Structure 1
Amino acid sequence: MNNLEAPISMVRPGLIEFGIGVAARLGAWAKSKGYRRALVISDAFNASRIEALGLAGEITVYGDVKAEPDTGDLDRVLEAAEGANADLIVGFGGGSAMDLAKLAAVLSGSSQRLVDVVGAGKVAGPGKAALAQVPTTSGTGSEAGIRALVTDPATKAKLAVESIHMLADMAVIDPALTFTVPPKVTAATGVDALAHCVEAFTNRKSHAAVDIYAIEGARLVGRYLARAVRDGSDAEARAGLSLASLYGGYCLGPVNTAGGHALAYPLGTRWHVAHGAANALIFPHVLAFNTPAVPEKTKAVLDALNLPVTDKVGSVFEGAHAFCAALGIEMKLSELGVPADDLGTMADDAFAIRRLLDNNPRDLSRADILAIYEAAY
């Protein structure tokens, strides 16, 4: 791991605007590019405040995005995109809105359908519309990435699309847009950003070019997450988390996540647990499990979170679990509506996610996965 000589490909949105009050720069940029018809893909709350983006011209709003979108949600977004005939598509919300915006940007007006592009590098070419991403939570980092996920309702599996053609032309990260995020969501999405960074940092594909963002993202979460949970209007804390989320997004492209996300996905696809909450619950278990394979990096993570530095598995778990629980995150599967008799099926689903499990620094067998679910229950 972390071989300086290993090839790596790193991409960023063409333009990144970051800082309190920069949201309206989207409209100025769109005007400078001559875009006249915008489709904004958002959830109901953010759809009510699109004026913050400063867009002019003909604006169509799809405001029905929900957490953990499935293929039916994508079909409805694509129908809206066809009707809007937009020259600019904007993802405005959390990871669900931004992922749907990515897919709409490349599939609208294309002869390809979702089934044709699932996997890596299968999108035929750029979409007919430009793509801008405006996150309103601090967790997914989707604004900086080239992957999008939707759930197949028949199989309960995540369908992952990866393409350079889904990279945003512009990303606008305005921490002021996150001031209204409730404490529980702030906590869960913050640990999701942390998980992106930590899973990349401890990854079999980890690389020094990414590690610098990964460990700094973890430090930012350690420094600011509890503050933002206590006071949602703390501008410095919100900005710190927005930057941590962006850094986590930088990690996702060239390295990606690993065991933690593989184990978290079935909670969302089968039981509709929010992605951030699922990752937060799983995070201490997988960090501890991986410790024997990456003891020094685990110590660095603990130090970044201001936790006692150790390479003892039990102590690693205790520290990370206490960090998450102190934020008010629910840390028991049984309290999230997951039935005990479904843990085996969840383990089957997680074990099948090889694109992530093969990145994990320590092999996770199905029995290991089931044991983690049982310990988390």
Structure 2
Amino acid sequence: MTDLLRPIDIDRPARIAFGSGQITTLGTWAREQGIRRCLVVAGGFNAARVALLDLPGEVAVFGEVKPEPDIPNLDAALALAKRVRPQLVVGFGGGSAMDLAKLVAVLPGSGQTLQEVVGPEKVAGRRVGLAQVATTSGTGSEAGSRALVTDPATQNKLAVQSRHMIADLAVVDPDLTMSVPPAVTAATGVDALAHCAEAFTSRKAHPTIDLYALEGIRLVGRFLARAVADGSDREARAGLALASLYGGFCLGPVNTTAGHAVAYPLGTRHHVAHGLSCAVIFPHTLAFNASVMPDKTALMLDALGLSGARDVLAASHGWCATLGIEMRLSALGVPQDDLPLMATEAHAIRRLLDNNPREMTRDDILGLYRAAF
């Protein structure tokens, strides 16, 4: 499925500052740009440590980002942006904060509504600066061009993709992830793994992305268990931060496939955190696709330290479980009688399922949910 002759467009942040202590880059950069008004988009924990960003001038903070942001959450952030009229928007947190920051940077004053920009490349432009500061290692949103928000009326995620939402500066400072607790470290680490694995096996897979995808998997395989066991392990934190960044590189030109489509209803319908949703589903979709991607599946298992495993589901499921991740939907508050409706909703996410290397029917998805239950 990987075709050297197929064209591909790759967009990256104009500048990426990676490494311990790189948080200091943001303030210096903002001063060089002549910034005088900033708006930071963050959740409650990061809103309390905005001083770390050392931003110049007037700094307003939207500190109410939800774990799974929805349209009302976005509307509240947009309202503040209209009052503040920032020259620079900063996403400070995990994927939820960074996704909202992207939309806050492009929508105010554009004359466009959220509904008008849903889909690929519908955003008219951007008139303010955008910086992203990642504080978790999972989503890779700091490097990507997509933003997701939930529509509470339909309980579906709305996806906006635009090169105008790519950051001018992305800061990946692993020191900022040291406070992430073990359970969240584990789940978000598997989310980064899923980004890489799904891109590696996608119908849109491409050699220019494959190297990031496979190396991202290797990094997760090498460092995730270490970071879960010892959150102060700086080398492990740095390895996961790089894996997450590589996963973000995979999302733009290739994107995810069935794993994320099947995981989304867990978050939108039952408020299971995105990383945990992806972690629970990951072994099942990896095994489902193994028959049509045997060589790449073998490479991924080898990268995770599972060389020679004959039962893909058992091996990958066990690998996730040893990280302490709760792998049963029943234990996550998902009711069994909702599985059929979840399967219908997941099957309708064609933007992802159409890229899966193996056709996945609604009944296939229902079977995955029941196996994970």
Same fold (TM over 0.5): yes
Per the alignment, residue 131 of structure 1 pairs with 130
The whole-number CA distance in structure 1 between the counterparts of 2:298 and 2:161 is 32
Per the alignment, residue 262 of structure 1 pairs with 261
- The Cα of 1:121 is off from its aligned counterpart by 1.0
Give the letter aligned to residue 270 of structure 2: W
The whole-number CA distance in structure 2 between the counterparts of 1:309 and 1:192 is 24
Per the alignment, residue 6 of structure 1 pairs with 6
Residue 212, structure 1, aligned to residue 211, structure 2 = yes
Residue 347, structure 1, aligned to residue 343, structure 2 = yes
Q: For the aligned residues, what is the CA RMSD?
A: 0.6
Give the letter aligned to residue 361 of structure 2: S
Per the alignment, residue 232 of structure 2 pairs with 233
Give the letter aligned to residue 129 of structure 2: A
Specify every segment of 5 or more residues in structure 1 that has no aligned partner in the other structure, as ranges.
Answer: none
- The Cα of 1:108 is off from its aligned counterpart by 1.4
Per the alignment, residue 271 of structure 1 pairs with 270
Taking structure 1 as the reference length, the TM-score comes to 0.98
SS at match of 2:255: coil
Q: Per-residue displacement from partner, 1:151-176 (whole Å, max 9, x unpaired)? A: 00010000000011001000000000
Q: Per-residue displacement from partner, 1:58-113 (whole Å, max 9, x unpaired)? A: 00011011111000000000001111110000000000000000000000121101
Residue 338, structure 1, aligned to residue 334, structure 2 = yes
* Contact persistence 1:25–1:54 (CA under 8 A): no
Per the alignment, residue 47 of structure 1 pairs with 47
The whole-number CA distance in structure 1 between the counterparts of 2:352 and 2:249 is 17
- The Cα of 1:309 is off from its aligned counterpart by 2.5
Specify every segment of 5 or more residues in structure 2 that has no aligned partner in the other structure, as ranges.
Answer: none
Per the alignment, residue 119 of structure 2 pairs with 119
The whole-number CA distance in structure 2 between the counterparts of 1:190 and 1:357 is 22
The whole-number CA distance in structure 2 between the counterparts of 1:322 and 1:52 is 39
Matches within 5 A, 1:1-377: 1-125=1-125, 127-310=126-309, 312=310, 315-377=311-373
Taking structure 2 as the reference length, the TM-score comes to 0.99
Give the letter aligned to residue 123 of structure 1: V
Give the letter aligned to residue 162 of structure 1: Q
Number of equivalenced pairs: 373
- The Cα of 1:256 is off from its aligned counterpart by 0.2
Give the letter aligned to residue 222 of structure 1: G
The whole-number CA distance in structure 2 between the counterparts of 1:244 and 1:104 is 27
SS at match of 2:66: coil
Task: Report the identity percentage.
Answer: 64
SS at match of 2:122: coil
The whole-number CA distance in structure 2 between the counterparts of 1:62 and 1:75 is 11
The whole-number CA distance in structure 2 between the counterparts of 1:276 and 1:3 is 30
